[in-house]
């Protein structure tokens, strides 16, 4: 098997024109250069140079090795640089999952900052609901997610970052539109548009309604916050949506606070317990989320 050091010495001899100049460039003794070439010739079973006086001229086999080995050494150097970049966190792949509206409201600025600081890192953002994202973490298809707390039996870690608060979205001509606050009990008299079953927001809303003995006459279940907004605009019903999504409200709708109940849910980092397996690029993005989105240090199973 060829020693890459000897191959590099061989390339240097050819480019510099002599054993002596190659030794000076590599900061080797000339005897070391000679010994390396002799060992390389022995390993390959061929002569690489014809010695003509003090001159060393490439043999046909030597010319072939020189042409073919240039790409080999370039690939090795590229691989070494890639490994160095990964080991320092400036290369690699970060796989993130996030629920809405966190993905579209809070993450774009963080991703821009991260990509500016680490332009060689590949980053994938998958937007979805909490349960499917948690399952993809368990399958090692995502490094972590920013979502609601996972179920206790999944063995995932949860680091709270911030609380997502909710308000009631109503058409501008709805009876609730002129009220400064909407009594929670009055929700039962109107069609409420809810998130789909896999969304943790739906679980939170239904739990709070049940705890306050608020029974809905009818509801719709929709898999998109944007679609919920459009249905409210179309006067199909009213919807409880995160306040952070209010920046993109359409004309003809209003966001109202709801009295008597605490509509909020904790959002944080969800990842596997073996977080020591993360590369430095993933750890860097996790630290950025902690510093920009909330406080770190608390971990709930």
**What residues contact 178, with CB distance under 8 A and at least 6 apart?**
none
Percentage of the chain beyond pLDDT 90 is 28
* Residue 247, pLDDT score: 74
Per DSSP, the three-state class of 245 is helix
Neighbours of 211 (CB within 10 A): 10
Judged on CB neighbours under 10 Å (0-12, 13-18, 19+), 180 is: exposed
Nearest C-alpha neighbor of 90 from the set 289, 285, 292: 285
d(CA 274, CA 284): 16
Lowest mean pLDDT among 174-183, 247-256, 274-283: 274-283
Q: Using an 8 Å Cβ cutoff, are 127 and 142 in contact? A: no
Per DSSP, the three-state class of 100 is coil
* Residue 76, pLDDT score: 75
pLDDT digits (tens, 9 = 90+) for 181-235: 888 888 888 888 888 877 878 888 888 888 888 887 777 888 788 888 899 999 9
* Bridge partners, 170 (sequence order): 254
d(CA 195, CA 224): 7
Fill in the DSSP letter of residue 143.
Answer: S
d(CA 297, CA 201): 24
* Bridge partners, 171 (sequence order): 253
Quote the pTM value.
0.67
pLDDT digits (tens, 9 = 90+) for 117-155: 888 888 999 999 899 999 999 999 999 999 999 988 888
Neighbours of 166 (CB within 10 A): 24
Relative orientation angle of helices 280-293 and 107-117, to the nearest 10 degrees: 140
Mean pLDDT of all residues in 267-295: 85
CA angle, corner 76, sides to 70 and 82, nearest 5? 135
**What residues contact 17, with CB distance under 8 A and at least 6 apart?**
none
Q: Token pair of 4, please?
A: 């890459």
Mean pLDDT of all residues in 167-173: 91
* Residue 300, pLDDT score: 33
Q: How far is CA 250 from CA 100, 169, 202, 227, in A?
A: 17, 11, 23, 11
* Residue 87, pLDDT score: 60
* 69 dihedral zone (left: phi>0; alpha: psi -120 to 50; beta): alpha
pLDDT digits (tens, 9 = 90+) for 46-60: 888 887 766 778 888
pLDDT band at 90 (very low <50, low <70, confident <90, very high): low
d(CA 219, CA 241): 14
* Residue 296, pLDDT score: 34
């Amino acid at each position: 098997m060829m020693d890459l050091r000897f191959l590099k010495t061989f390339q240097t001899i050819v480019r510099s024109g002599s054993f002596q100049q190659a030794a000076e460039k590599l900061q080797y003794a000339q005897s070391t250069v000679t010994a390396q070439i002799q060992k390389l010739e022995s390993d390959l079973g061929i002569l690489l140079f014809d010695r003509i006086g003090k001159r060393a001229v490439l043999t046909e086999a030597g010319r072939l090795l020189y042409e073919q080995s240039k790409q080999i050494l370039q690939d090795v150097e590229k691989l070494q640089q890639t490994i160095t970049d990964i080991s320092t966190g400036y290369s690699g792949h970060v796989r993130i999952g996030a629920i809405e509206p966190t993905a579209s409201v809070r993450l774009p600025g963080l991703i821009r900052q991260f990509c500016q600081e680490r332009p060689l890192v590949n980053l994938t953002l998958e937007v979805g609901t909490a349960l499917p994202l948690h399952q993809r973490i368990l399958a090692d298809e995502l490094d972590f997610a920013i979502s609601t707390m996972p179920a206790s039996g999944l063995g995932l870690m949860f680091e709270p970052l911030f609380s997502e608060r909710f308000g009631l979205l109503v058409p501008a001509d709805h009876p609730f539109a002129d009220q400064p606050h909407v009594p929670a009990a009055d929700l039962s008299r109107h069609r409420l548009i809810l998130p789909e079953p896999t969304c943790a927001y739906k679980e939170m809303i239904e739990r709070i309604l049940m705890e306050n003995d608020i029974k809905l006459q009818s509801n719709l279940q929709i898999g998109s916050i944007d679609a919920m907004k459009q249905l409210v605009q179309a006067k199909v019903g009213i919807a409880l949506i995160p306040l952070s999504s209010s920046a993109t409200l359409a004309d003809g709708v209003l966001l109202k606070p709801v009295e008597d109940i605490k509509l909020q849910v904790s959002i944080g980092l969800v990842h596997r317990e073996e977080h020591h397996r993360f590369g430095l690029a993933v750890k860097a993005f996790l630290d950025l989320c902690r510093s920009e989105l909330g406080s770190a240090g608390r971990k709930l199973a």
